[in-house]
Structure 1
Amino acid sequence: MKVLYNGKIITLDKDRPYIENGAIAIDDGVIFDVGTTQQITSKYKDAELYDLENRYVIPGFINTHMHLYSTFARGFGFGGASPYSFKEILEQIWWKLDKLLISEEEIYYSALMPAIEGLKSGTTTIIDHHASFGLIDGSLDIVENALRDVGIRGVLAFETSDRWGKELSEQSIRENERYIKKEKDRDFFNALFGLHASFTLSDETLERVSSIANSLNVGFHIHVAEGIEDVESALKVSNKRTVERLKDFGILKKDTLAIHCININDVEIDILNETHTTVIHNPESNMNNGVGVAPILEMDRKGILIGLGTDGYTPSMIESVKVAYILPKLHYKDPRVGSDLARRMLFENNASVANRFFNKIVGVIKEGAYADLVVLDYNPPTPLNEDNFFFHLIFGIRENSVRDVFVHGRLLVKDQKLTHIDEIEVSRKSQEIAKNFWRRF
């Protein structure tokens, strides 16, 4: 047993949200007990002790939509391409990139690097949406291996799409089906059925994947109405809008993650609510692609569960929530809106999403939860407690405040450095692989 003591514990547990001089007892990767330092240290006298040195401790962050495979786009000029529409961004950059991922090494390092960066910024669980149409079979195992080597939890899916023809579409379906059926360590890994978006999926494919997913009792991970092209395509092929079309094929349901949901109307919001579909908001990526602002306040008022992701734009949930906090204020021209929703997305809703997939719960410091913990090196200029911690996170805490990170009770980051991976060597190797990848691009 290990005891972390002498810390200020932000538990995110409604029954006991804050412990001023707290301690956490950990056994076999799980939080065994939580209380004051005096209570816990006197109770478990033979435990290995770890002094938190009066620092703040919070649960590990959860990223509910990520594209780890997009890593090798960082810093690349894309040959002077200057796409002016969302579809051109996909065609000239992302679809070209994922078709050129052809080796295990490329997939592994493109997942390894952002997983490391995410961990160092406090992210301990990632729900990833993978695409590598140059190497489909077994690709989710490669991503899993990267996350396992970093030491974090993952929910994986392959982006099924008809955009590269029937043969590759079939392979992408089979890869999802294979990985969903694969026996996995449910303490660390699970699966969703990945789909790209309505406008790259035929009726035949939607019907097929719906049947397979229902037989496997699994939900979908799909982009929904991100760009206006998704709406236009749905209207053209079905005379219905995107959400309506997906509903007809049974894609929308409780365990489905509908990513983005920007270009939707009130009827579609009602459908998302009625089907108990979860929406994942990705504010930075949406802004970068110029696709618009999701109607998150309207969806929230309807009772839709809205999570927060990064869509590959950044590995940092701290960065993402800061933008999620300010964007509604600008968009709605009202400084009063969006604050509480941003807090709930990060601290409550993301945990609700992730807790569907693992044997025990994440996103909270309480008995029985996984011991995924972030120790913050933050000395606030004003008082900090359970009521105002979120605002300290928005206005004061940054990635460099993350000092130590525990996942499953293992100390993986200490003093802002990985304890189990040579970061310099990994970076060197990744750059070498990326250079060869860029030559093909």
Structure 2
Amino acid sequence: MNILIKNVLTVFPNGTAKKTNIAVKNDIIFAIGTIPETFTANTTIDGQGKLAVPGFVNAHTHVSMTLLRSYADDMKLMDWLENKIWPVEAKMKKDDIYWGAMLGITEMIKTGTTVFADMYGDMDKVAQAVEETGIRAVLSRGMIGAAPNGQAALQENCTLFENYNNSADGRITVMFGPHAPYTCPPDFLKQVIEKAQKYNAQIHIHLAETEGEVKECLEKYSKTPIAQMEKIGLLDCGVLAAHCVHLSDEDIAIMKKHNVRVAHNPGSNLKLASGIAPVKKLLEKGICVGLGTDGASSNNNLDMLEEINLTALIHKAATLDPLAVPAFKALQMGTYYGAKAVGLNDTGKIEPGMKADITLFSMQGTQWTPCYDAISLLVYSANASMVDTVIVNGKILLDKGLLTTIDEEKIIYEANKCAERLTGKTIKN
């Protein structure tokens, strides 16, 4: 299908915004500006009063955890995991994973996200949800090496790669997902490295999320989590590192050396009191920093525009520098940098030849008035309810606020059924 978006205010890779036309041919952005006369559109979108941005990239989440949204709030991380989250997750069946993923994908599409990187169990059901809905995803089987099912989980990740890498018209790619150094002993991580190298796959892992994690790693191995991962060779595989809150200058140098990409999760880190990552330092060192929401049980939503806004704000306060993360830089972190962080080089920018992953915001209303700077208004003033249209891989998934591939009412019904069975709680809505 060919799509023509006419006369739309568009954010360009150089940080400017100007009105133009965007032609989409099949799954690719074909032309911008003057459209060749040979191009014929099957669908024309009137871009007047709209802002076109690259689709948001959620660089780290656990999408099926939408089923645990508001189940366990205002707790310390390990208490939250060990006494609330992990016991419920142990009860999850494949249908729970599927409906949780469908719920999360619905939320992400409606809030402008076109790509997400996920780490969880029963990822074949998440892949099914991705195939059906049309979103783009980077999937990894979350593995706790110290658990009795550690070896089985590793084999499941291998099977996931074999069955789904580059599937769904190329919308699905697969990484390996060891949970973290404190749940995956070195011998297990070495097995993960061996498998990742066999499949030429990359690795998605939580690193340096809390002070306690760093302290425990130093006590066990006399090295920080980053240094320990370098020692065992994990950083040579190509790594998407979630969180990276507690880093030394030596850690940052190691990350730069090995081209470690970071998924910064400001909302989750704030809610769990994990701390504030040294994003300004990372950016100054040329390290790629994308943005993620983490799971909906620790955020509690999958709204990437909110993460972009938080990123632009909290690092100003943390560094006492109002220039620490300007609006356009925050937007880049939620789009192009996020795409690079999850290993995708063909999305995250609106320019010819890139994948047609585009989000249109309605600019109607008081929060867009007056419009001196559309990018600034998007980051500091707008909200995700203003998302009008979402295109992924050249297909319209949200049209004037209406989902085209998803029955939202059915998903909410099924997700509530799953949540009641898992927690024993009566769902009120």
Task: Look up the equivalent residue of 2:310 and give its one-letter code.
Answer: V
CA distance in 1, matches of 2:95, 2:160: 19
Equivalence for 2:322 = 335
| Structure 1 residues 277 and 415, CA gap change in structure 2 (3 angstroms) | same
Residues 168-216 of structure 1 deviation map (CA, whole Å, 9 limit, x = unaligned): 0001111111112225426200011101111111121122111221222
Contact kept in structure 2, 1:7 and 1:56, CA below 8 Å: no
For residue 43 of structure 1, report the CA deviation from its aligned partner.
4.2
Aligned counterpart for 1:266 among listed residues 240, 249, 252: 249
Equivalence for 2:395 = 410
Q: CA RMSD in A?
A: 2.3
CA distance in 2, matches of 1:225, 1:13: 31
Q: Secondary structure at the match of 1:65?
A: strand
CA distance in 2, matches of 1:46, 1:64: 32
Task: Look up the equivalent residue of 1:8 and give its one-letter code.
Answer: V
CA distance in 1, matches of 2:378, 2:84: 34
Aligned residues: percent identity?
Answer: 26
TM-score normalized by the length of structure 1: 0.88
CA distance in 1, matches of 2:267, 2:215: 24
Contact kept in structure 2, 1:254 and 1:276, CA below 8 Å: no
Equivalence for 1:199 = 182
TM-score normalized by the length of structure 2: 0.90
For residue 241 of structure 1, report the CA deviation from its aligned partner.
1.4
Residues 141-187 of structure 1 deviation map (CA, whole Å, 9 limit, x = unaligned): 1101112222100000011113423xx00011111111122254262
For residue 73 of structure 1, report the CA deviation from its aligned partner.
1.1
The correspondence of residues 170-319 of structure 1 with structure 2, limited to 5 A, is 170-183=151-164, 184-185=166-167, 187-253=170-236, 255-312=238-295, 313=299, 314-319=301-306
Contact kept in structure 2, 1:8 and 1:18, CA below 8 Å: no
Equivalence for 1:86 = 77
CA distance in 2, matches of 1:344, 1:89: 32
Q: Secondary structure at the match of 2:115?
A: strand
CA distance in 1, matches of 2:39, 2:263: 41
Equivalence for 2:419 = 434
Equivalence for 1:29 = 27
Aligned counterpart for 2:312 among listed residues 320, 325, 344: 325
Q: Secondary structure at the match of 2:179?
A: strand
The correspondence of residues 336-375 of structure 1 with structure 2, limited to 5 A, is 336-339=323-326, 341-354=329-342, 356-357=343-344, 361-375=346-360
For residue 13 of structure 1, report the CA deviation from its aligned partner.
3.5
Task: Look up the equivalent residue of 1:110 and give its one-letter code.
Answer: G
The correspondence of residues 101-120 of structure 1 with structure 2, limited to 5 A, is 101=92, 103-120=93-110
Matched, 1:71 2:66: yes
Task: Look up the equivalent residue of 2:24 and give its one-letter code.
Answer: I
CA distance in 2, matches of 1:175, 1:77: 29
Show structure 1 runs of 5+ residues with no match.
133-138
CA distance in 1, matches of 2:28, 2:209: 38
| Structure 1 residues 25 and 240, CA gap change in structure 2 (3 angstroms) | same
Contact kept in structure 1, 2:67 and 2:418, CA below 8 Å: no
| Structure 1 residues 325 and 277, CA gap change in structure 2 (3 angstroms) | same
For residue 110 of structure 1, report the CA deviation from its aligned partner.
0.8
Contact kept in structure 2, 1:26 and 1:409, CA below 8 Å: yes
Q: Secondary structure at the match of 2:114?
A: strand
For residue 106 of structure 1, report the CA deviation from its aligned partner.
0.3
Aligned counterpart for 1:99 among listed residues 90, 106, 114: 90
Task: Look up the equivalent residue of 2:104 and give its one-letter code.
Answer: P
Show structure 2 runs of 5+ residues with no match.
none
| Structure 1 residues 45 and 204, CA gap change in structure 2 (3 angstroms) | closer
**Greater CA drift, 307-316 or 431-440:** 431-440
